[in-house]
Structure 1
Amino acid sequence: MIEIEDFANIDPKRARILDGAMKVFLAYGFARTTMDDIARAADMSRPALYLLFKNKTDIFRAIAMMLLGRSIEQAKTALAGDGAFAERMTRAIDGALISMMRAVVTSPHGAELLDMKSSVADLVGCWRGDLVGHVAAAIEDEAVGNGVDLAAKGLSAKLLADMLFDGLEGMKTRISDPDQQRQAAAALIRVIDLALQKS
């Protein structure tokens, strides 16, 4: 199983490369970006770049790991924060999903970068599993705090978390505007919140 790395203490040289590479990928797309472009953006020589990364796909995967790791940390922070369950969950989904993708979606090469998902499918699968686990734990805590027996309702925290993420995944194919995505996500979260209330 692949672990999504914690990039809080990332090596500054590696961070500079990933930051520069992200900018060039967004500006030129993956296909048109060269290792020379990335080296220039990171203010280093191409041979020095090759000492850390074997190719641009390797760099793309490292960027994905960095973004996915940040996403999980944002979700954990939001879920552990103050406020009602629906507010915390809304902040978590916005920070971990909707806001995280803004730079890619608004880029002229966003569609091309999103089409690269097959090269990071294993990372995305692990990320989704981690995120669903954190959301399920928050749902379970809320149910226990409210004195709600989810099993008696034919539900489980994992089922509700999977339902939320399946709904969000479907929403992305239908809605591209981030504000409309937030409204749709809030509606899904309200449905889950209702399930967590005593009948």
Structure 2
Amino acid sequence: MTMASPTSDKRLQTSDERRERILEGAFKVFLAYGYDRTTMDDIARAAEISRPALYLVFRNKTDIYRALASQFLNELLARTEAVLAEEGPLAARLDRMCEGVFYCMMREIEETPHGPELLDVKNHLAGDVMTEWRGRLDAVLAQVIETEALKNGVDLEAKGFSAQTLATMLNDAMEGMKARIADPKEHMERGKLYLKVIGAVLNP
């Protein structure tokens, strides 16, 4: 196995740091100006790098948005896994996931002037990123639900469900409500009702 030289390690670190600085700057200007009005010049200035240096890392604004979406969703999933791994009843953990992770993080974006626009463009700019992340989230929730069912001695199949079905149903419900419920607080309260349904199915 060939060991990387100190020089190459330093170069890699510099590249990673530059990428992170670009994403931080892009996030700020996207929120300030909206996706459509933001230019690569705006992002370069916010990241405090030259435009040519910016193009060495990202080809265009869409690639930057997709990288931001992936970063945000990965953090969202990591926080979700951390909350669901905590001790205590599943219902309480799901509630903390719903309110303390999903709505807390989404609210930080939605309450900015151009946050709703950034969330609206995600499907056509990063639809594949969203689909891949949604599959991972479904799998995480399904595993937790299956573990809880086994612990409680609940036969999900006898009740007409599977852990995967319940996980998908929960995420479908949460996603579908966004189209018809504008108030984040009401959205959260409706989401908690679906969590109660999951809890009822998992009771012996």
Query: Matches of 2:152 and 2:184 in 1, distance apart?
Result: 32
Code of the residue aligned with 1:155 in structure 2: it is F
Which residues in structure 2 correspond to 1:77-88 (within 5 Å)? 77-88=82-93
Find the partner of 2:184 among 170, 178, 182: 178
In structure 1, the partner of 2:170 is: 164
What letter is aligned with 2:165? Answer: L
Q: Paired residue for 1:97?
A: 102
- Structure 1 CA distance, aligned partners of 2:62 and 2:43? 12
2:55 is the alignment partner of 1:50: yes
CA contact (8 A) 2:141 2:167 kept: yes
Task: Give the RMSD, CA atoms, in angstroms.
Answer: 1.7
After TM superposition, the score normalised by the length of structure 2 is 0.88
In the TM superposition, residue 105 of structure 1 has moved relative to its aligned partner by 1.5
Aligned-partner Cα distance in 1 for 2:116–2:83: 29
Q: Between Structure 1 and Structure 2, which shows a larger proportion of helix residues?
A: 2
Kindly state the Cα deviation for residue 39 of structure 1 after the two structures are TM-superposed: 0.8
Once the two structures are superposed, the pairs formed by residues 47-196 of structure 1 within 5 Å of their partners are 47-117=52-122, 118-196=124-202
Residue of structure 2 equivalent to 1:32: 37
d(CA) in 2 for partners of 1:73, 1:110: 22
Aligned residues: 190
Q: Secondary structure, in 3 states, of the residue corresponding to 1:108?
A: coil
Question: Rg bigger for which structure?
Answer: 2
Between the aligned residues of both structures, percent identity stands at 51
Moved >3 Å (runs of 4+): none
Name the aligned partner's letter for residue 45 of structure 2: R
1:96 is displaced (CA, Å) by 4.6
Give unpaired runs (5+ residues) of structure 2.
1-12
Q: Is the 8 A contact 1:67 1:100 kept in 2?
A: no
1:95: how far off?
Answer: 4.6
Q: State the TM-score, normalized to the length of structure 1.
A: 0.90
Unaligned runs of 5+ in 1: 1-8
| Structure with higher RCO (Cα < 8 A, 6+ apart) | 1
Alpha-carbon distance, 1:60 to partner: 0.4
Q: State the distance in 1 between where 2:42 and 2:201 align.
A: 51
Higher mean Cα deviation, 140-149 or 168-177? 168-177
